[in-house]
A and B are shown apart, each in its own frame.
Chain A
Amino acid sequence: MSEPEAKKRPGLAVWLPLALFAGFFVLVMFGLFRPANREVSSAMIGKPLPAFDLRPATTDKPGLAVAKFQDGKPKLLNIFASWCIPCAVESPQLAALAAQGVEIDGIAIRDRPADVARFLATNGNPFAAIGADDLSSVQLAIGSSGVPETFVIDGKGIIRYQHIGDIRAEDVSMILGKLKDAGS
């Protein structure tokens, strides 16, 4: 083509749209292939437990009310269900925590008393009290999105930590540490 256009050489600006597109492409690919985190963590950490008063989930343990968490001693609040398989898997770890003197209170989600009793008979009963949450209302109120989940509650009833999924053997010392932090 003609001379004058060669004189007016396009600057780097010509590459800008392509660079922008490349950047966008990289971003999309990064988002597509990054291992997705499917856990929805509670936004209630640092906030007080909501008010609740649940009937006993089984005959041999009392029900659970929020007042129990305001006695100055940090506790674990375990969200579980008899129909949940990982909940049975974590029972040795809960037993280990209970053996260390940790108070564990449970909330059974959408569960029948007979099923809870059978679950505890099979897997052991580390709980001081178990409330029944038939409409998942307390579960929703504390921002829990599944079973099992374990919350560390400090002595004033403030939620300090949320553990999503079953507690593995290697998590026990970490949970104990979180309880210690909540107590200080």
Chain B
Amino acid sequence: MIRRWIVILTLLLAGLQAGPLAAQDLLPPAPYAYKQLPDPAQEAKAQALMETLRCLKCQSQSIADSDAPMAGDMRHQVRTRIAAGEDPEAIRQWLIERYGDYVSYTPQLSSLTWPLFAAPLAFLGLAGLLLRRRFRRSAGAGVRTATPQEKSS
């Protein structure tokens, strides 16, 4: 009985898996989805950018990693824009304007993310202050002679 339920459940799950997989278009990939730019310097720039852009279909992959057709179209977009002389960061900004910060793997400085950048500095400052106090106290303790209590302990 339990085994039969497991089989049914497995088949159901397999069915759920097959749904999205079947939904794939038949158009050939975009021209620059899998083709590198002729200029190696430009291709390197494009590659570096593509590795830091999120695939919107398969959200744990970069568009450089993904074989989703939409990621291919995004690579085409990135490569043609770089070939046209556009700055990689301008392309990133263009996408962020459309999809929000989430599309970029490189954290952006914004009103929401500034603590991310400020917190390490604040902690360093705090640590510096605490250490200075600690060092001053122990320097003072070094000069003064040990109290009887300290001797006994």
Which residues in B have their C-beta under 8 angstroms from that of A142? 98
B102 in complex: contacting residue of A40, A109, A137, A146, CB < 8 Å:
A40
Count contacts on A: residues with CB < 8 A to the other chain: 28
Closest residue of chain B to A81, judged by CB? B25
Which residues in A have their C-beta under 8 angstroms from that of B26? 83, 112, 115
Indicate if the CB atoms of A140 and B77 lie closer than 8 Å: yes
**Segment of B40-48, B67-75, B114-122, B138-146 in the binding face:** B67-75
Indicate if the CB atoms of B69 and A110 lie closer than 8 Å: yes
Q: Is there a chain B Cβ closer than 8 Å to A34's Cβ?
A: no
Closest residue of chain B to A5, judged by CB? B153
Q: Is there a chain A Cβ closer than 8 Å to B34's Cβ?
A: no
Indicate if the CB atoms of B24 and A43 lie closer than 8 Å: no
Q: Is there a chain B Cβ closer than 8 Å to A90's Cβ?
A: no
Q: Is there a chain B Cβ closer than 8 Å to A9's Cβ?
A: no
Binary flags per residue of B44-73, CB closer than 8 Å to A gives 1, else 0 = 000000000000110100000000011001
Q: Is there a chain B Cβ closer than 8 Å to A101's Cβ?
A: no
Per the 8 Å Cβ criterion, residues 79-116 of A in contact with B are: 81, 83-85, 109-112, 115
Per the 8 Å Cβ criterion, residues 120-178 of A in contact with B are: 134-137, 139-143, 145-146
Per the 8 Å Cβ criterion, residues 61-100 of B in contact with A are: 69-70, 73-74, 76-77, 95-100
Closest residue of chain A to B97, judged by CB? A43
Considering the chains assembled together, what is the distance between the CA atoms of A143 and B102 in angstroms? 12
* Contacts A40-B103, A145-B56, A146-B57; A135 near B30 (Cβ below 8 A): yes
Which residues in A have their C-beta under 8 angstroms from that of B22? 85
Indicate if the CB atoms of B100 and A111 lie closer than 8 Å: no
Indicate if the CB atoms of B98 and A143 lie closer than 8 Å: yes
Indicate if the CB atoms of A145 and B149 lie closer than 8 Å: no
Q: With both chains docked as a complex, state the minimum distance between the C-beta of A27 and any C-beta of chain B, in angstroms.
A: 13
Q: Is there a chain A Cβ closer than 8 Å to B27's Cβ?
A: yes
Q: Is there a chain A Cβ closer than 8 Å to B19's Cβ?
A: yes
* Contacts A43-B100, A85-B19, A145-B57; A140 near B73 (Cβ below 8 A): yes
Q: With both chains docked as a complex, state the minimum distance between the C-beta of A59 and any C-beta of chain B, in angstroms.
A: 18
* Contacts A4-B149, A135-B30, A135-B76; A42 near B99 (Cβ below 8 A): yes
Which residues in A have their C-beta under 8 angstroms from that of B100? 40-41, 43
Indicate if the CB atoms of A42 and B98 lie closer than 8 Å: yes
Binary flags per residue of A12-33, CB closer than 8 Å to B gives 1, else 0 = 0000000000000000000000
Considering the chains assembled together, what is the distance between the CA atoms of A40 and B59 in angstroms? 10
Closest residue of chain B to A87, judged by CB? B23
Considering the chains assembled together, what is the distance between the CA atoms of A84 and B22 in angstroms? 9
Which 9 A-B residue pairs are closest in the complex by CB-CB distance? Answer: A143-B98, A136-B73, A145-B56, A110-B25, A110-B27, A83-B25, A43-B100, A135-B30, A135-B73
What 5 new A-B contacts, CB under 8 Å, besides A81-B25, A139-B70?
A: A40-B56, A42-B99, A43-B100, A135-B73, A140-B95
